[in-house]
C-alpha cells in the first residue's frame, strides 16, 4: 500500500539498543528483561510487571493465575480482537458476552449484572481502540459480586481514567506490543498487577513452570514457553522512554482526521476525548451512517485499497466468528449494537509519522468512495 494502515516508529536509538544486546551473552532472561519490567510497572503505576511474548500469552496467564477453570464464566465484550475471549477458552472458562455502548464501543457496564450467574468469576474489560472503558462502573459491579477484573489493555497503553492508567485499575491488566501498537517490541506483551502472588505465578508459568528459587530442570507446575527475549525488551525500553511524545503524535493525527471529516454527515467519528481521562489512540475508526449496509462499507474499503490506501474492517464481532457461532450457537441479532457498529466500521491509516498530505488524500478518497457506494445502493 502507498499509504499503509499502520507502520512502526523505530529510530536509530532503538536499533543501537537491540544491537548492543546482540553483543552480549544475555539474549533471554537477562538484565534487559528485568529493566523493562521495572519501567513498565512504574509507568503503569503497579507494583509488578511480567513480560511475555505476546498480549495473548499475557491474557492467558491472567486467566490461569486467577484460577478460572472449566465451567467458570467471565463477562466480556463481543467487539474485540478474538484473543480476549480465546484466553478464557484456553482454561475451559466460558466468555459470556454483553453488548456494547454504541457511543464508546466498549462493554456497557449497565448490562453486566443481568448476565451474571452463580458461575461468573470475573469480568474481562477491553479498552477498545485505546479508549478507556467505564472502569468506575465496572469495578463497582465487581465489588458488589466478588468478581475479579482483568483489563485487556492491549490496545491502550497510556490511556487513563480517573487519574489512573488503564491496566492498573483492575486486579490485573495486559499490554501488547505488536508492530501496529502505540509502542512495539516486535512481538511481546506485559502483565501488570499489584498482586505479588499473581505476578509470581505468571513468572513461573511463562517459563515452563519453573520456580526461580529451584533447579532449572525442576518444574513445579504446568507452564508454557511464553518468554520474551532481551532483544525485544531492549527495543521496548527505548520505545517506552519516548512514549509521551509518541502518544502526542498520535493525538495530533487523530485530531487532524477529526478536523477534515467532521463536516461529513455520513460519517460517525470517534469522540476526541473522554471525560476524566485520556484516550491512547491505537487506530482511527470511523463508522458509516445508520442507513449504510455492510456491503456498502465493504465497497468503500475495496475502493480505498485499490487506490493504495490501507484500511481495515475493525472488528468482526467475536460471537459471529465461525468457531464461536459453531461452538456456542450464536447468531446474528444476539448483540445488535456490536453487530451494527462493526458492519459500518472502517479503520483508516493511522501511525505516528502519517503526514498531513497523506491524511488529505485518505480523506478525499474516502469521501469519493462513499459517494460511489451510495450511488450503487
Q: How confident is the model at residue 354 (pLDDT cuts 50, 70, 90)?
A: very high
Give the pLDDT mean for 93-105: 98
List the chain domain ranges. Answer: 12-241, 243-375
Euclidean distance between CA atoms 80 and 77, whole angstroms: 7
Give the pLDDT mean for 81-93: 98
CA distances from 239 to 40, 183, 269 (A): 11, 6, 29
For residue 299, is pLDDT > 80?
A: yes
Give the pLDDT mean for 313-335: 97
- Cβ-proximal residues to 377 (8 Å cutoff; 6+ apart), any chain: 293, 296
Greatest pairwise CA separation for the chain in angstroms: 70
Asked whether the beta carbons of 105 and 82 are under 8 A apart, the reply is no
For 243-375, the fitting CATH number among 3.40.50.11290, 3.90.1150.10, 3.40.190.10, 3.40.50.1220 is: 3.90.1150.10
Asked whether the beta carbons of 311 and 349 are under 8 A apart, the reply is yes
For residue 216, is pLDDT > 80?
A: yes
Euclidean distance between CA atoms 6 and 368, whole angstroms: 22
Cα-Cα-Cα-Cα dihedral sign, residues 349, 351, 357, 358: negative
For 12-241, the fitting CATH number among 3.40.640.10, 2.170.190.11, 2.40.50.140, 3.40.50.12280 is: 3.40.640.10
Cα-Cα-Cα-Cα dihedral sign, residues 109, 114, 117, 118: positive
Q: How confident is the model at residue 376 (pLDDT cuts 50, 70, 90)?
A: confident
For residue 213, is pLDDT > 90?
A: no
Asked whether the beta carbons of 173 and 166 are under 8 A apart, the reply is yes
**Residue range 49-72, pLDDT digits in tens:** 999 999 999 999 999 999 999 999
Beta strand extents in the chain (DSSP E only): 48-52, 73-76, 94-97, 120-126, 148-152, 160-161, 164-165, 172-176, 189-193, 267-268, 277-278, 284-288, 345-348
Residue 153 CA, distance from chain mean position = 5
pLDDT value for 334: 98
Asked whether the beta carbons of 348 and 284 are under 8 A apart, the reply is yes
Domains 12-241 and 243-375 share a fold: no
Q: How confident is the model at residue 230 (pLDDT cuts 50, 70, 90)?
A: very high
Which of 32, 148, 165, 181 is labelled catalytic? 181
Asked whether the beta carbons of 127 and 283 are under 8 A apart, the reply is no
Give the pLDDT mean for 99-119: 98
When the pLDDT of each residue in the chain is averaged and rounded to a whole number, the result is 97
Q: How confident is the model at residue 214 (pLDDT cuts 50, 70, 90)?
A: confident
Supply the pTM of this predicted model. Answer: 0.97
165 is a catalytic site residue:
no
Give the pLDDT mean for 276-300: 97
CA distances from 203 to 37, 164, 262 (A): 11, 25, 47
Euclidean distance between CA atoms 341 and 105, whole angstroms: 8
Amino acid at each position: 500500500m502507498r499509504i499503509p494502515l499502520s507502520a512502526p516508529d523505530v529510530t536509530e536509538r532503538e536499533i543501537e539498543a537491540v544491537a548492543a544486546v546482540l553483543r552480549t551473552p544475555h539474549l533471554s532472561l537477562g538484565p534487559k528483561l528485568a529493566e523493562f519490567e521495572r519501567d513498565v510497572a512504574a509507568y503503569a503505576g503497579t507494583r509488578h510487571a511480567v513480560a511475555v511474548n505476546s498480549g495473548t500469552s499475557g491474557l492467558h496467564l491472567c486467566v490461569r493465575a486467577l484460577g478460572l477453570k472449566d465451567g467458570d464464566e467471565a463477562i466480556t465484550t463481543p467487539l474485540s480482537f478474538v484473543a480476549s475471549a480465546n484466553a478464557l477458552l484456553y482454561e475451559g472458562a466460558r466468555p459470556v458476552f454483553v453488548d456494547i455502548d454504541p457511543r464508546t464501543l466498549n462493554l456497557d457496564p449497565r448490562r453486566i449484572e443481568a448476565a451474571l450467574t452463580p458461575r461468573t468469576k470475573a469480568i474481562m474489560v477491553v479498552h477498545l481502540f485505546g479508549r478507556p472503558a467505564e472502569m468506575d462502573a465496572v469495578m463497582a459491579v465487581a465489588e458488589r459480586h466478588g468478581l475479579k477484573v482483568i483489563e485487556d489493555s492491549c490496545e491502550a497503553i497510556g490511556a487513563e481514567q480517573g487519574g489512573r492508567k488503564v491496566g492498573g485499575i483492575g486486579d490485573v491488566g495486559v499490554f501488547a506490543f505488536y508492530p501496529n501498537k502505540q509502542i512495539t517490541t516486535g512481538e511481546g506483551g506485559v502483565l501488570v498487577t499489584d498482586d505479588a502472588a499473581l505476578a509470581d505465578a505468571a513468572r513461573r508459568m511463562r517459563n515452563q513452570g519453573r520456580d526461580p528459587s529451584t533447579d532449572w530442570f525442576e518444574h513445579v507446575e504446568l507452564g508454557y514457553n511464553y518468554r520474551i527475549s532481551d532483544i525485544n525488551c531492549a527495543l521496548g525500553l527505548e520505545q517506552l522512554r519516548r512514549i509521551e511524545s509518541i502518544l502526542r503524535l498520535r493525538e495530533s493525527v487523530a485530531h487532524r482526521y477529526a478536523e477534515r471529516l467532521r463536516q461529513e454527515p455520513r460519517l460517525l467519528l470517534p469522540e476526541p476525548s473522554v471525560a476524566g481521562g485520556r484516550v491512547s489512540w491505537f487506530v482511527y475508526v470511523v463508522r458509516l451512517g445508520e442507513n449504510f449496509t455492510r456491503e456498502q462499507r465493504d465497497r468503500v474499503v475495496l475502493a480505498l485499497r485499490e487506490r493504495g490506501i490501507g484500511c481495515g474492517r475493525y472488528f468482526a464481532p467475536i460471537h459471529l466468528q465461525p468457531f464461536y457461532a459453531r461452538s456456542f450457537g450464536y447468531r446474528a441479532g444476539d448483540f445488535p449494537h456490536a453487530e451494527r457498529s462493526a458492519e459500518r466500521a472502517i479503520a483508516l491509516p493511522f501511525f505516528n509519522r502519517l503526514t498531513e498530505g497523506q491524511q488529505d488524500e485518505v480523506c478525499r478518497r474516502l469521501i469519493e468512495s462513499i459517494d460511489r457506494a451510495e450511488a450503487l445502493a
